[in-house]
Amino acid sequence: MFPREKIRNIAIIAHVDHGKTTLVDKLLQQSGTFRENEAVQERAMDSGDLERERGITILAKNTAINYKDHLINIMDTPGHADFGGEVERIMKMVDGVLLVVDAFEGTMPQTKFVLRKALEQNLTPVVVVNKIDRPNARPLEVIDEVLDLFIELGANDDQLEFPVVYASALQGTSSLESDSQGENMLALYETIVSHIPHPTESVDEPLQFLVTLMDFNEYLGRIGIGRVNRGIIKQGQSVAVMTREGGMKQARIEKLFGFQGLKRVEIEQAGAGDIIAISGIKDINIGETIADPANPEALPVLKIDEPTLQMTFIVNNSPFAGREGKWVTSRKLRERLFNELETDVSLRVEETDSPDMFIVSGRGELHLGILIENMRREGFELQVSKPEVIIRHIDGQKMEPIERLLIDVPEDSMGSVMESLGTRKAEMVNMVNHGNGNVRLEFLIPARGLIGYRTNFLTLTRGYGIMNHAFDSYGPYAGAGVGGRHEGVLVSMENGVATTYGLMSIEDRGTLFVTPATEVYEGMIVGEHTRDNDIVVNICKEKQLNNIRSAGKDDTVKLKVPRIYSLEQALEYLNDDEYCEITPKSIRLRKKILNKNERERAEKQRKTADANA
């Protein structure tokens, strides 16, 4: 066991894309953790396929490095507020945080979100101003912004005396001065060792260990990761497992692992303050306490912020159901969703009256989108409804989630962006002109108003706008008509294959979503209408053949490039009466009621019911 005073447990927190994972890379490389000839990929901590593809951290990861005679345990956390459940749990495992802030962008919505969580746990902060080599870097202004944020969030006097390290994670350099850089990360290592406190828990008291993260291994089964709160834990030891529901069961620790670099290393024992992994407890869960059987005391249950967005997950019942997926039944869908609950504490799954439908609630569109993307890659076929915010009734008042929106836009786009947000009930709370042609605007906006807004925003700013948002609070319900899509859609009238001739005949009616030779079915959405009503179209019709031929006429036909949606874009695009059909190979938009006559009948009944209400 490492001496307690030589251990440092820290979490790296930041807004998305401010350089946390790259910073961990350089700390690992310069610590001598890897062999000289060892091949290490960039962003080594982002191990998941989706993380590497999107360049974001989704799941919290931990690593350990040796610096001089110290052991530094580092937790890399997600920057997206959608994965806030991961961040909140990590705060229970550490004694201090490295708050990474971009030297140009400064404090952003998620910076505020993650810092609030750290200050609530009374953790010791170190501020790292990253990307100091970036053009237009403004480190001193950024430090003022960070200080204002600390004061706004109610930091105590000790937390306000935070040390500042200026770094370039990309170059692998750091310094205590804003106008010069050292040759390595030495300044950051020294600041961690001198400012972050060591664990103070006692190894002489009865054992307490809180399971904070989960992993799974084919050979070892479920693996619980967490921090030893007090006492000593040994391989082969009999323990009491305190469940989240208040029950208790006996178990045995089969294997114990410490961390070294990116590897797990088997160890014999660990003491208070150590971050370790345990295996051998068959159905262990996040939030459970492993305790001494003679003195079984449970630690407080992890409190996680409630979900703000929900969607309905439905078994695929389209005409193309079962063609492309491996898992298509409600039993498999239910099993997969409830398995996800074991590792994702921010997720909620409710069963409905129908065995084929499940209401899934999460922290945002990205949170639910990542789950759906993982499921389709595993071979699942399903349908989902439009994302809806979760309305609450607090003290008899109807309340809805409010997001804090921060956007950077070119000055010439500012007017049209403000106008578009005004129709979505956004309230501007701040405006800063950095003098470089860009303006930063800050709004409070109902979460409903942001669903489907990103595409519109990019169009208004010609792709130059940057938009970030995070959950702020629950506020009074802003009324109906906030957000949503205003354009109608082109709906296929029959089953068949789209033809060039059929697509040409409706091209001037709107924007197409499909290419020639695409298989379509009745009720499938094949384009966006130029007006606000839906129309039924026939894109499968063939050109009538006759004996009059115009030489070369068909050879010059060129269709406009169709709009192909990614999963997140498709989810944003949905209306209340539509589903998104998701398979391992395809993403299709469709009407809930496929038949035109039945749709019209249902719409009449809805209008009659609204009129009588």
Instruction: Write out the binding residues for GTP.
Output: 17-22, 130-133
Neighbours of 268 (CB within 10 A): 10
Strands 489-492 and 535-537: parallel
The C-alpha atoms of residue 525 and residue 581 are separated, in whole angstroms, by 11
The C-alpha atoms of residue 349 and residue 340 are separated, in whole angstroms, by 9
The C-alpha atoms of residue 313 and residue 311 are separated, in whole angstroms, by 6
Find where tokens 């899934």 sit: 360
The secondary structure element, H or E, covering residue 339 is helix 330-340
The secondary structure element, H or E, covering residue 151 is helix 139-152
CA dihedral of residues 378, 383, 386, 391 (deg, nearest 10):
-80
* 472 Rama class: left (phi>0) / alpha (psi -120 to 50) / beta: alpha
DSSP state for residue 92 in the 8-state scheme: T
Q: How many residues does the chain have?
A: 613
Known binding-site residue numbers: 17-22, 130-133
Strands 578-582 and 382-385: antiparallel
Can you list the positions of beta strands (E) in 530-566? 535-537
The C-alpha atoms of residue 32 and residue 498 are separated, in whole angstroms, by 59
Q: How far, in Å, are 47, 137, 308, 451 from residue 150 at the CA level? A: 32, 21, 26, 30
Can you list the positions of beta strands (E) in 522-613? 525-529, 535-537, 578-582, 587-591
* Contacts within 8 Å (CB) and 24+ apart, 550-554: none
User: What are the percentages of helix, strand and coil residues in the chain, rounded to 5?
Assistant: 25, 35, 40
Q: How far is CA 159 from the centre of its chain?
A: 28
Which of 407, 387, 383 has the alpha carbon at shortest distance from 457?
A: 407
DSSP state for residue 464 in the 8-state scheme: -
